[in-house]
Amino acid sequence: MTAKYAIVLAAGQGTRMKSKLYKVLHPVCGKAMVDHVLTELEKDQIDEIVTIVGHGAAKVEETLGKRTKYALQAEQLGTGHAVLQAEELLGDKQGMTLVTCGDTPLFTAKTFAKLFEQHEQSGAVATVLTAKTEEPFGYGRVIRNHRDEVEKIVEQKDTTPEEALVNEINTGVYCFDNQALFKTLHEVKNDNAQGEYYLPDVIEILKAKGRPVGAYCMDEFEESMGVNDRIALAKATKVMQRRINELHMKNGVTLIDPATTYIEADVKIGADTVIEPGVSLKGKTVIGEDCVIGAHSELRDTVLEDGIKVKASFLEGAIMRNGSNIGPYSHLRPQADIGEGVHIGNFVEVKKATLGKNTKVGHLTYVGDATLGKEINVGCGTVFVNYDGQNKHHANVGDYSFIGSGSNIIAPVEIADHAYVAAGSTITEDVASREMAIARGRQVNKPGYYDRYPVAKAAAESENKD
């Protein structure tokens, strides 16, 4: 079996992006563009991938890790010069080498595989990946001869009127005989206006030597979209978003309005889950089966087991276990562990806390740095006070306990199983099993005091108007 190699060009800074972030690191649906390219290449079982880095080399290597080898293009002297930097790693190898760009996030493994297959079967020394478009203006045209071989690639500015009508364009992706590629790169000259060494010149040199050059025309033109500015970035994101959404729907997920549903590349969703409009699913989020994610919710790096209902809430770094529910307008922060059958109501925030089976936290409550057992009721307006201004402290509440509304649970504190905290209490001491803790001032009523306050005057004026 013929060995397969790939070179990813990722050395450019991308000045048209007008960004401090290097171009190939700009995200499309949650993943850097160059990461999308590498991910698709990996699906084709490439023997060795080399990424050409330059600007932002350290950041690119940090993003891609050990999934690829690297070659440095210290000076940006053109695409041909960039590929040549991989010679030390690949130059002596026998096989096929695919060259692609790190700013083309929409190419698929299927397209790369077909390019390799076409190249190997045709016996060509080089194969150009092409596409057809109704609007070819601005692209290099692929001119074929009567044997369907590539005769030449003509840039827009150099086309004749007849050539300008050709709708097959060069995508900038190539497959070469590896050793022919590196041998020919040494013959490329930089006698052009930019003084750079261009990879397409390899095709011209090979043609001049009578070596066969072929082309594979791919099915979807939009795959070839390169990203050079923020406008193209938005277009690529839209295409990727549609592609991701359609894949989930094919796998049994219901998207009520795919056009307003944003799902990033690494998100996983189980069958028969329903996603309502305006939902954003980001990072490494994993959603089980039979869940309902309500409109305008956002989940990031969150795990939902089966049968979860999320209503208009924001979840990050959290886990919700089978049959639990949340919302509307609640917030799970990192390390929130919501147990089976737990109810989190509206305007509740949970951070670094575990809630046991069937516990209920209905509304207007903060639970931070706490462990709550099962079958607990936490009343409205309860605050787990976990911060003393310097350190965080932990509170524990046992099974079947009751926390009355408006309570402050000041950590560190232990509330045992079957304990009761009266509404409006500020708890600073441990509460034993089957005790009721009351920590509030005694009510005192003062006769006639109402008339001493401004409210009495306002009330009298209102009564007189009536």
Q: CATH no. for residue 416?
A: 2.160.10.10
Catalytic residue selected from 296, 363, 393, 394: 363
- 457 part of a folded domain: no
286 and 215, same structural domain?
Answer: no
Cis peptide before 105 (omega within 30 of 0): no
CATH assignment at residue 143: 3.90.550.10
160 and 42, same structural domain?
Answer: yes
8 Å CB contact between 3 and 47: yes
pLDDT in tens, 406-427: 999 999 999 999 999 999 999 9
15 and 114, same structural domain?
Answer: yes
The count of domains in the chain is 2
CB within 8 Å of 252: residues ≥ 6 apart: 270, 271, 272
174 and 60, same structural domain?
Answer: yes
Burial 270-299 (b: 16+ CB within 10 A, else e): beebebbebbbbbbebbbbbbbbbbbbbbb
Boundary residue ending a domain (181, 203, 222): 222
209 and 262, same structural domain?
Answer: no
415 and 313, same structural domain?
Answer: yes
44 and 143, same structural domain?
Answer: yes
Boundary residue ending a domain (179, 204, 222): 222
- Report the binding-site residues: 9-12, 23, 73, 78-79, 103, 140, 155, 170, 228, 333, 351, 366, 377, 386-387, 405, 423, 440
| Cα(221)–Cα(168) distance, integer angstroms | 10
- 164 part of a folded domain: yes
- Report the binding-site residues for acetyl-CoA: 386-387, 405, 423, 440
- 452 part of a folded domain: no
265 and 126, same structural domain?
Answer: no
8 Å CB contact between 353 and 319: no
Q: Phi/psi of residue 61, each to 5°?
A: -65, -35
Identify the pLDDT of residue 465.
85
363 annotated active-site: yes
pTM: 0.91
- Report the binding-site residues for Mg(2+): 103, 228
- 215 part of a folded domain: yes
Token pair of 309 as six digits:
């209902």
Identify the pLDDT of residue 193.
76
- 291 part of a folded domain: yes
Domain that holds residue 64: 2-222
Identify the pLDDT of residue 56.
87
pLDDT in tens, 10-32: 998 888 999 999 999 999 999 99
Burial class from Cβ neighbours inside 10 Å (0-12, 13-18, 19+) for residue 454 reads exposed
- Report the binding-site residues for UDP-N-acetyl-alpha-D-glucosamine: 9-12, 23, 73, 78-79, 140, 155, 170, 228, 333, 351, 366, 377
141 and 189, same structural domain?
Answer: yes
65 and 190, same structural domain?
Answer: yes
- 294 part of a folded domain: yes
278 and 178, same structural domain?
Answer: no
Span between the terminal Cα atoms of the chain, in Å? 96
- 248 part of a folded domain: no
Boundary residue ending a domain (222, 238, 271): 222
218 and 301, same structural domain?
Answer: no
Q: With a cut of 70, list the residues of the chain below it in pLDDT.
A: none
- 103 part of a folded domain: yes
Identify the pLDDT of residue 205.
94
